[in-house]
Each structure stands twice: as structure tokens, then as C-alpha cells.
Amino acid sequence: MTRQLHLGLGLMLSLCLGVGGSGTARGAERLIIEAALDRQIVEPVLAAFAAENPQIDLDYRDRSTLEVDRRARDPESPPDVVISSAMPWQLALSNDGMAQPLDAPEADQWPAWAKWRNEVFGFTFEPVVMAYRLELASHMPPPETHRDLLDLLTHYRQWLDGRVVSYSPRESGVGYTLFQQDARYTPRAWDLIAAMGAANVDFEATTQRMLEGLSDGRYWLGYNLLGSYAMVWAQSHPDIIVQVPNDYSLVMMRMAFVHRDAPHPAAARRFVSFLLSQRGQHILAGQTPLFSVRDDVVGPYTAQRLRDQVGDHLYPIPINATLLAFVDPLRRQAFLRRWDRELQILEPPEQ
Amino acid sequence: MPPRTSLKRRLTLWLVVIVAGLGTLLLIEAYTSARKAADRAMDGQLEAASLTIAESLQWPEGNPTLEMPASALQILATRWQERVFYWLQADNGTTITQNADLPITEAMRAEARQGPVYLDARYDGQPIRLSGREVDSAGWDTQEPVQLWVGHTRHGRDLLARELFRKSATRFAAMVLITAALVGIAMHTMLAPLRRLRQALRDRRAEENSPLMLDVPREMQELVETLNRLFADQRHHRDALLRFIADASHQLKTPLAGLQSTSELALTSHEPGVWHQALVTVHDSAGRTSRLAGQMLSLTRLQHLGPLHECQPLALDQLMREITVDWADRQDSRDHDLGLAIEAPAPVWVEGESWALRELLNNLIDNAFRYTPPGSEITLALRGDDAWVTLAIEDDGPGVDAESLDRLTRPFERGHRQDTHGSGLGLAIADSIAGRHGSRLEVSNRAPRGLRVCLTLPRCQPPEGGAG
């Protein structure tokens, strides 16, 4: 617990430092970015952009997905650029007319599957993974697929009881989206959820907290973590193993758009164009774990390289109008109701 | 001079006016039908999405619930990635779910109750297309209809309509170009006969007056025929003129040659008696030649005189009487028996020029004296009724050949008679004068012998106060 607090403090400290760092570069033009994307992860990209555009005063505000959505809808002080991993909410913002089309060569050349209405662009390629502690492997075969996970939860429940963690669909837009997408691909996802319920699964609002719990030893197994964060974490925490599911792996994309009422539209367009440009994507692939979408970018973190490593069972969450169904309040309500029911359905009769 | 108009320009102008008017109508029609076609095609998407959503609507435990089908929204978005809107409300007014506060009026809801509707609306400053239907869904506790409205922006429809419109506009433009080319070719072809005629006229020499031989369309045939008639008239006139000049030269040449030979003969002699004799001959010959020239002048003057300008009512019988008396006193009439026969109700008033009618009578009488043997009986007659009078001169001389009768009024025509000193111009002059008075000289042989020359004139009212 103390360690977690310490870590949180460090995060806050570095966040403040980051903000201070960009604050020194005073320029004529401001650029307000509301983002659900950790500042220290994306810092190399911001630094490169600031170096290329010294006249632009970057105001990067790191928030939760739901907060980003709320601020994007605030008519009083609209941001310039909105970045979020909550893909359905980003698409809903575009559908509500909050985004403006980006008229730039980078936008035109961007792959059609990774953009919507030429307004919202998925500019990262982050696989959704499982992560487990090394000691799990000494008690049971480590999971490689969703079926393995269900088998473990069924056959090793006594070991895993209270030691499984996943994204909270209630508190996190990303978590909700991932489970919705899981349930869309196969109804057996509900069996998995029921099994997790039976194993008294814990839910966290961020990947960061799940990773911390794993390192703490509170959790042995995490499901549906963002691969980008987990892979970085695993590099410095050798006791954590990251597993990209072998049957299918969802891929989440951060989505960025220029706000319709952006107070600094020129700078906003330049920033999003930079994110999509070869240079921006090159930094993304080389200095961040966010994975570049572009085929013509070389680096350790590219969609192409990921495909080469894990095979072609990567399933990017489709960027289209189907996502809008996820944010329908009635559907969300129905999903959560079923979610609650499924979690309870396998209550062990002996208890 | 009126402004020159070009057939080509006029045709082009008409074409432009027709194409512009017709084109505007056609393009408006094409635009509206393109929009309609695009709407028809895309309304199917609205219907599909609407039906898919309706299928998912359920009433568990008395509350309407809907697991919004993701595919319905994708269908609604279409491949043009429209903004999509949906709006579900129970008939009692409670909203089931919506993602946009669509401008649905009570009238629209009433219409949707009758059956599925499709209509245009505006939302968020953008034109959108809406489709509404009422869904009857029965549950165990509640049986309440639900109003289901879906809609999307018009981007794809506009693109589709624009493409359709562009196609029709292209077709129309191609049609206009083809029409223009065809009209151009047609104009060129149709104006070709005119150009041929122009060229044919331009290539003619001034003296050429043969008829035009051109292959022209029926509409232009009349023009060519008129031109050919004009050319024929010119040709006759010119022929007559040439014949007159040739005859006149010939007539003048004979006495002049006589004068020359007489004077040459006289010059070779030293006898004053011969000279005297030659001078007498020269004097006679010069007199005849002078008279001939006078008559030629008279004829030319008559033919080139304008219309009657000294015309007035005159008593023809009076005039004839005067002239007959005049001739009877002359030496020329000693050998002939000249008589006058007025057989019309006197006085006979006609419209005419006094000097001309006098000339006419003189010529007729002189002619009769010259071409009849001495002792012939010559009668100047005036016959007629209340409306017309016929002036005639009749003799009992030899008459002329039947085939020469028609030619007698031509200049220098003597009816094969070379035995007189007549110039052959008398009857031609008389005919000209008759022509000036709207009549014609008629020449015929009498039975058993003799010649009759006559003309018919209308009588007129006696002048005011002059009748008494």
C-alpha cells in the first residue's frame, strides 16, 4: 500500500515536471490538448512537436477518459485537440458534431480502417493482453488463450480466488469497451465473466493500478490490460509476464481529433497532422510503447512488427458506427445488468 | 438600307435560345430526379436500420428496453460515414432512448402512426434525412406502441445526387455539342445551293444572258426562274436594240453611199449641167436621209419617253378632220383618194396626248400613201360605241404577205417592198404611240385586197365646260 502511494507520488511529480517543462516554452499560440494518455509515455512525441513548433505553447492536460469526454462537451471552454482511448465516446463526439474534418495529406493517406469521417483518427495500435506473476507458472500451466484462462479459473479456483484482476467496465470506458467487444466476438465471454465472478475477481480503473497490484503480489493474473503499458512495465519488472492471447487479441487505438470549436484551429490541425505524420509515428514507434499504425515506419513498436511477432490474430476494435451502440445508455445499462448477473451466477453452492 | 442579317447567325441564335431554355428545364428536372433517385436508394438504408432496431425492442417487466444493435447504426452510417441519429419514444411520451434531440413534431408523429415516413429536416445546422415508424410490440404487462425515428446526414445522398446529376449534365452537354455540330453541317449543306447560285452569278460576264442551269432545291427554283425570266427579257431587249442599230446603220449607209457616188461622178465632169443634175440628186437624197434620221430620232424619243404626262381629253373626230383636211391640201395626196368616215356617235372624247396622236395619224396616212399605188382609195375611219372607239386606216392596195403581218410594226420592216422611199419606221412609231395610250396597232389584210391598220381606245367623259 505504501509502495503504491509512493509510486503514485512519483507519477504526480513527473507529471508536474512535464507540465513545467512545456510551460517554459512560451510562444504566441496556445494549444490545449485534453488527453486520456499518460504524459510521460507520450512525452517524446510532445517534445518533438514542441521543438518543431517553438511558437506553439503546448498545454497538455492528462485526464481520465470520462473527464476528457466531459470537457470536450463543455461549450464554455472547448479544447483544441481531444485524445482518448475510449473509442466509442470519441466516435460519439464525432457523431455529435464535436469534431472538424482534418484537411491534410497525412489525414488523406491515413488507412481507412483507422479513421472515421476524416475527423477522428486512431493513431496508436495497442494490443490488449493478459499478464501474470511468474509464480503462477509454478502452480498451473500459464494461460495462452481465452479458453486457457477459463480452464484455469474453473480448475484452479482455489489458487486464483481473489487473485484475478481486470478492467472495471463501470469505472473505465476502456474496460467497458473491451468487455463489450469480447461479448460481441463470442458469447463464451460470458462464461469467462461468470468464472471470474466465481473466483472473486477484482476490478481496477486503470492498467497502471492492475500492474501495481501484480507487482505487489496482491494479484497473480490480470485480464484485459493495455499491452502498451504492460510491456513497458514488464521490462522493469521481470516477475511479470505479458501474454498476448494466442486465439484472438483485441487491439485498442487511441483516437485524436480537432475540436469543432477549437480556439486555435491551425495549431490543432498541425498537431494532429504531426501525430499522423511519418516523423510523429516514427517517434511513437521508437520512443513510446504505443505502436505506430503506419506501415512505412520502422522501430521496435509498430503494428507490423507486432503482427510479425504474435501472428495475424490481432483484432483492432473496428472504428465505425457500431461503436456508437456501446455508448447508448440503454445498451450500457442492459450490459451492466447482465454483467452483474453473470458475476453472481456461479456463486459456489457450498458457500 | 436595312441592317444585314445572317442566316447562320439567326439559326445559331435560335439554337442557343432553344438550348438555353430547354437546357434549364432539363437540368432542373435532372437535378430534382437525381436527388429523388439518391433519396430512394438511401432511404432503403434508413428502412433497414429502422427495422433492425425495431426487432431488438423488447418489453421485459413492463419497461421498454433495447439493446441497440450495432449493425443498425453501421447500416445507418452507410459507407459515406454519415452522422447517425436515433430517437425512440413510447406513445405516452416517455423517451426510451435517443442519441440526439431530433426535431420531431406532433404532426410528424401523427404521420408516422399511419405508416413509415421519410422526410427532410434540419438538425444541428445541417440538413438531415429522417425516417419514422410506429412499432407495435406486445409484452405480458404492457402493449404500447413505440415511435422509432432514425436519421442521418445527407453527405452520401448529396454525393450520389451530384454524381447522377453530373452524368445527366454530361449527357446533355454531349447532346448539345452533337446537335450544334449537326446543325452546323445542316446549315452548311442547306446554304450550299445559295452559295452555288452566288458563284454562278458572280462568274457570269456582263453581256451574258443565257438562262441559269442550276440544280437547286424546290424552294429556290422560283428564284432561279425569276432570274431566268429577267435574263430573257434583257436578251430580247438587247437583241431588239442591236437589230435597230444594225438596221439604222444600214438605212443610213445606203443614201450616204449614193451621195458619195453621185458627188464623185459629178467631180470627174467639167460640165455645169452635170453638176446641177448631181446637186439635185444630192438634195433629194439628203432630204430623204434627213427625214429618215428625224424619224429614227422620233422613234427613239418615243421609246425612251416616260409615261404620259401631257394627257388630256381631246376630241378625236375633230382631230381627224383637221388632219384629213391638212393632207388633202398637200401635193402628195393628188394621186390618191383620201376619205374620212366618222361612224361613231360624235364628239368622240379620248384621253391622249395631242401631239402624239397627231404624229400617229400623220404616220399612218403617210404610210398608206407610200405603199399603195397611185389611185388607191384610202379611208380614215372612226367606229365604235359608247365605251370604245376604233381608229382605222384602210386602203385597197396590194396588202402584205400573211407571214409579214406581225412584223410590220418593227422598225425598218417594209413587208418586202423595196420600191418606195419609205424608211420603214412609220408603223413602228405609230405602234409606240399606240402603246403609250394603252393600245396596240393591229395590222390585217382586207378582203378582197388591201390593208387595214387599226387601234382601239377607250372613250372618256368630255371635259367640264368643254363639251358644249
Looking up residue B68, the CATH number of its domain turns out to be 3.30.450
Does B390 lie in the same domain as B276? no
Residues of chain A contacting residue B81, judged by C-beta atoms under 8 Å apart: 116-117, 320-321
* Spatial distance between the Cα atoms of B369 and B333, rounded to a whole number of angstroms: 7
pLDDT in tens, B368-427: 888 888 888 889 899 888 888 899 999 888 888 888 887 888 777 777 676 666 677 888
| pLDDT at A14 > cutoff 70 | no
A74 and A86 in a single domain? The answer is yes
Q: Is there a domain that residue A11 lies in?
A: no
| Shared domain check, B349 and B296 | no
Interchain pair A325, B73: CB under 8 A: yes
A333 in the same domain as A220: yes
Interface probe for B, chosen from A180, A322, A335 (most Cβ of B below 10 Å), is A322
Q: Does B95 touch chain A (CB under 8 A)?
A: no
Task: Examine the fold and report which residue of B304, B327, B353 is the final residue of a domain before the chain moves on.
Answer: B304
Whether residues A133 and A185 share a domain: the answer is yes
Q: Are residues A276 and A286 in the same domain?
A: yes
Asked, for residue B465, whether it belongs to a domain, the answer is no
CA distance B170 to chain A (A): 28
The proportion of chain A whose per-residue pLDDT surpasses 70, expressed as a percent, equals 91
The amino acid sitting at B336 is H
Residues A232 and A157 in one domain: yes
Domain assignment of residue A162, given as a range: 126-251+326-345
Are B129 and B152 in contact by the 8 Å Cβ rule? The answer is yes
Q: Indicate whether A193 and A333 sit together in one domain.
A: yes
Q: Give residue-wise pLDDT tens across range A63-111.
A: 988 899 999 999 999 999 999 999 999 999 999 999 999 999 999 999 9
pLDDT of residue A16: 40
Closest residue, chain B, to A92 (C-alpha):
B99
Residues B104 and B235 in one domain: no
Mutate which of B75, B79, B81 to test chain A, going by most A C-beta atoms within 10 A? Answer: B81
Among the three residues B304, B333, B357, which one is the final residue of a domain in this structure? B304
Select the more confidently predicted residue: A349 or B336: B336
Q: How many domains does chain A have?
A: 2
> Does residue B114 form part of some domain?
yes
pLDDT score for A11: 41
How does residue A279 score in pLDDT terms, banded at 50, 70 and 90? very high
Write down the pLDDT at residue A107.
94
Q: Report the residue from B74, B97, B124 with minimal CB separation from A321.
A: B74
| Average pLDDT, integer, range B230-242 | 87
For residue B251, the model assigns a pLDDT of 79
Q: How far apart are CA A92 and CA B72, in angstroms?
A: 15
Which segment of A121-125, B209-213, B341-345, B420-424 scores lowest on mean pLDDT?
A: B420-424
CATH number of the domain enclosing B271: 1.10.287.130
Nearest CA to B371 out of B325, B411, B427, B320 is that of B427
- Which residue's C-alpha cell is 446641177? B276
Q: Which of B84, B124, B126 sits opposite A321 (nearest CB)?
A: B84
**Do the beta carbons of residue A36 and residue A145 sit within 8 Å?**
no
Q: Which chain B residues have a beta carbon less than 8 Å from that of A334?
A: 65, 67
> Per the structure block, which three cell numbers stand in for A60?
497538455
Same-domain pairing of B231 and B263: yes
Question: Domain check: are A229 and A150 in the same one?
Answer: yes
Region B115-122: mean pLDDT is 94
- What is the predicted pLDDT for the residue at A92? 96
Judge whether A319 lies within some domain: no
Q: Of all residues in chain B, what percent carry a pLDDT higher than 70?
A: 94
Average pLDDT of the residues in B219-244:
87
Residues B292 and B276 in one domain: yes
Torsion angle in degrees (nearest 10) through CA of A193, A194, A199, A203: 40
- Give the pLDDT confidence of B73-92 residue by residue, as tens digits: 999 999 999 999 999 998 88
Do B333 and B295 share a structural domain? no
SS3 (DSSP) at A328: coil
Mean pLDDT, residues A147-168 taken together: 93
Mean pLDDT check: name the lowest of A189-198, B133-142, B150-159: B133-142
* One domain, residues A263 and A176: no
Residues A104 and A144 in one domain: no
Separation of alpha carbons B431 and B426, rounded Å: 9
**pLDDT > 90? residue B270:** no
- Whether residue A297 is contained in a domain is answered as yes
Structurally, how many domains does chain B consist of? 3
Q: Do A97 and A133 fall into the same domain? A: no
Classify residue A21: in a domain, yes or no: no
> Containing domain of residue B24, as a range?
7-163
Give the per-residue pLDDT at B421.
Answer: 66
Q: Is B37 on the interface with A (CB under 8 A)?
A: no
Question: What's chain B's average pLDDT?
Answer: 85
CB contact under 8 A, B65 and A320: no
Give the gap in angstroms from C-alpha A163 to the nearest C-alpha of chain B.
32
- Looking at the structure, tell me whether residues B345 and B426 fall in a common domain: yes
* Interface list for B 59-78 with A (CB within 8 A): 65-74, 76-77
Asked if residues A80 and A33 have their Cβ atoms less than 8 Å apart, the reply is yes
For residue B233, count CB atoms less than 10 angstroms from its CB and return exposed for 0-12, middle for 13-18, buried for 19 or more. Answer: exposed
Q: What is the pLDDT of residues B346-365, one digit of tens each?
A: 788 888 888 888 888 888 88
Specify whether B233 is located in the same domain as B334: no
Binary contact (B97, A329; C-beta < 8 A): yes
Assess whether the previous peptide bond of B347 is cis (omega < 30° from 0). Answer: yes
| In a shared domain, residues B326 and B295 | no
In a domain, A116, yes or no: yes
pLDDT at position A3 is 40
The CATH number given to whatever domain includes residue A185 is 3.40.190.10
| Contacts across the A-B interface (CB distance below 8 Å) | 59
Residues B286 and B157 in one domain: no
| Beta carbons of A325 and B69 less than 8 Å apart | yes
Show the beta-strand stretches assigned E in B62-166.
65-66, 84-90, 95-98, 117-123, 126-135, 146-153
What CATH number has the domain bearing residue B436? 3.30.565.10
Helices A173-185 and A188-198, axial angle in degrees (round to 10): 130
Average pLDDT over residues B271-296: 86
The answer on B374 and B268 residing in a single domain is: no
Does residue B300 share a domain with residue B316? no
> Does residue A50 form part of some domain?
yes
Is pLDDT of B335 > 90?
Answer: no
Calpha distance A335→A238 (Å, rounded): 37
The SS3 of residue A120 is strand
